[in-house]
Amino acid sequence: MNFTPFPTITTENLTLRAVEESDWEIILFLRSDPTVTAFIHRPENRKTKNQADVLNFIRERQEDLKQNTCIVWGIALKGEPDIIGTICLWNFSEKNTIAEIGYDLHPEFQGKGIMSESLQTVIHFGFKELQLSKIEAYTHFENNRSIHLLEKHGFQHLKDRKDEGNEANRIFELKNSDWMR
């Protein structure tokens, strides 16, 4: 697995591109806004409270990218320079056959199919380019919009698995063998 050069992806309506330090203001918003983070429980040491925190977070993700342990795309409307959300593959299994997907989106752009298009694109990348066997997603049991999005794209709730770090999370998975796109 190698994320160099960075795989910028263009879809009908979006550009998924690398997150840069110049994106710090929107990343700070996405990681601290009460609406965006309503269902995300981060330990105090992972909270992003100011410019220094967010620049450190971006640099850490850039280092993860160099190490091929995480890839984060900034979601931008096609033809627009500013990102409105992020989507990532991370927490890869030891043999790089399973990855976790995570995402966030500015509330102004929610409910417009943007995350659905982003999710579909990253699922395709994960299964076709990275040859993943499975993609997992962890979401709060009350996050109905995220649950609906995952189910719409074929993710199945794993009722027997629990998130040891957060009992409120539900774990979903999509197997490459079940993916029909």
pLDDT at 181 > cutoff 60: no
In a domain, 143, yes or no: yes
The answer to whether residue 159 scores a pLDDT higher than 70 is yes
146 found inside a domain: yes
> How high does pLDDT run on average in the chain?
93
Does 113 fall in a domain?
yes
Residue 101 in any domain: the answer is yes
What is the pTM for the complete model shown?
Answer: 0.94
pLDDT digits (tens, 9 = 90+) for 52-64: 999 999 999 999 9
Structural domain contains residue 133: yes
Are 121 and 14 in contact by the 8 Å Cβ rule? The answer is yes
Beta-bridge mates of residue 105 = 85
Assigned domain for 4 exists: no
Number of folded domains that form the chain: 1
The boundaries of the domain holding residue 112 are 9-178
Average pLDDT over residues 153-173: 91
Residue 3 lies in a domain: no
Q: What's the alpha-carbon Rg for the chain, to the nearest Å?
A: 15
* Bridge-based pairing state of the strands 156-157 and 134-140: unpaired
Q: What is the pLDDT of residues 83-110, one digit of tens each?
A: 999 999 999 998 999 999 999 999 999 9
Task: For residues 181 and 166, give the distance between their C-alpha atoms in angstroms, rounded to a whole number.
Answer: 32
**What CATH number did the domain enclosing 72 receive?**
3.40.630.30
Q: Is residue 2 part of a domain?
A: no
